[in-house]
Amino acid sequence: MIATLDMYDLPEIREATDAWWQALARGFEAEGLTGVPQTRTRLAEESDAWSRPDLFFTQICGYPLRRFHKDGLTVLGAPCYEAEGCNGPRYRSAVIVQSGAGITSIEGLRGQRLAYNNSSSQSGMSALRALLAEQGAGPGFFGDAIRSGGHRMSVALVTSGEADVAAVDCVTWALLRKYAPEECAAVEILAWTPDAPGLPYAVRAGAAPASIAAMRRGIERALADPSAKEARAALLIDGFTPLADHNYVEIDEIETFAVERGLPSLF
């Protein structure tokens, strides 16, 4: 069995993420769960884990959860982060531009170059699309779109001037501000996107209700584990809210909102 926690796994906090998994594993074992991986698995692509039959535990973005994995994964709930843009288990994206570029409004983004992490991202794509649709933007709003491969790379593209704007997950933004402030020094926040349910912890579909309840209790044990306090602080984790699959239907509704207002795609 494998467990993955790759979504916010910056190199600077890799040891803290390892320690957080150890706390979770102890919590799960204390609740009587078996087959708990003793170490987490790192994969070249985090999405490689989400369809594996030997998956024990993972964290996933809400957009691919709903688009590709709603029948294969079951939501346990969402961790809460102490980061600007978060509200309990909900989060937003910071819309960033280069400082001093003279872009002061959403309309000022028209014709500019977008950096986006990937096309299956709630924070880097769908949330921004909803914000633009809210403002009346239509197809062809951006002059160009550059796939960066990750939020950190999107920030780098805006910093270097290779792109003009990006939408960055607020937790990633807060982590970069904390651990790599020099990478954020040349950009500023123009706006915030509408919020959405945060990145959930999930297990393979078909897990027994008793096992799901035990895993939620195990997460609460990890949150109360004094030996994991430093790791939690490093990762900005300050809580957990039990959620279910139906809470993530909102991700579909955010996409539908944009499509119905004439913005089916940013690209």
E strand or H helix at 58: strand 55-59
Q: Give the CATH number of the domain where residue 115 resides.
A: 3.40.190.10
What distance in Å separates the CA atoms of residue 213 and residue 60, rounded to the nearest whole number? 19
| Residue 263 is assigned to a structural domain of this protein | no
What local confidence, expressed as pLDDT, does residue 46 receive? Answer: 86
Per-residue pLDDT of the chain (267 residues; tens, 9 = 90+): 999 999 999 999 999 999 999 999 999 999 999 999 999 999 888 899 999 999 999 999 999 999 999 999 999 999 999 999 999 999 999 999 999 999 999 999 999 999 999 999 999 999 999 999 999 999 999 999 999 999 999 999 999 999 999 999 999 999 999 999 999 999 999 999 999 999 999 999 999 999 999 999 999 999 999 999 999 999 999 999 999 999 999 999 999 999 999 999 999
Whole-model pTM: value is 0.96
pLDDT tens-digit series, residues 43-71: 888 899 999 999 999 999 999 999 999 99
What is the number of domains present in the chain? 2
- pLDDT confidence of residue 44: 81
Q: Whole domain around residue 232: which residue ranges?
A: 2-82+197-253
Residues 108, 35 within the same domain: no
CATH number at residue 241: 3.40.190.180
* Separation in Å, CA 40 to CA 17, 117, 227, 228: 9, 24, 18, 16
pLDDT at position 211: 98
Q: Which one-letter DSSP state was computed for residue 185?
A: T
In the 3-class helix/strand/coil scheme, how is 11-38 assigned residue by residue? Answer: HHHHHHHHHHHHHHHHHHHHCCCCCCCC
Q: Are residues 118 and 190 in the same domain?
A: yes
Q: What gap in Å lies between CA 94 and CA 158, rounded to an integer?
A: 13
Residues 175 and 209 placed together within one structural domain of the fold: no
In sequence order, which ranges of the chain are alpha helices (DSSP H)?
A: 14-30, 62-68, 127-134, 151-160, 170-179, 209-224, 229-235, 249-260
Residues 6+ apart with CB under 8 A from 224: none
DSSP-derived secondary structure letter, 162: S
Please tell me the distance from the alpha carbon of residue 29 to that of residue 121, in angstroms, as a whole number. Answer: 33
Tokens 């306090």 -> residue: 229
* Integer Cα distance of 223 and 237 in angstroms: 9
Pair of tokens at residue 237: 């984790």
Closest by CA position to 166, among listed 187, 183, 139, 181:
187
Tell me which of 196, 218, 243 is where a domain ends.
196
User: How far apart are alpha carbons 58 and 203 in whole angstroms?
Assistant: 6
Whether residue 192 is found in the same domain as residue 103: yes
Do residues 76 and 202 share a domain? yes
In terms of domains, do 71 and 108 share one?
no
One domain for residues 63 and 122: no
pLDDT of residue 45: 85
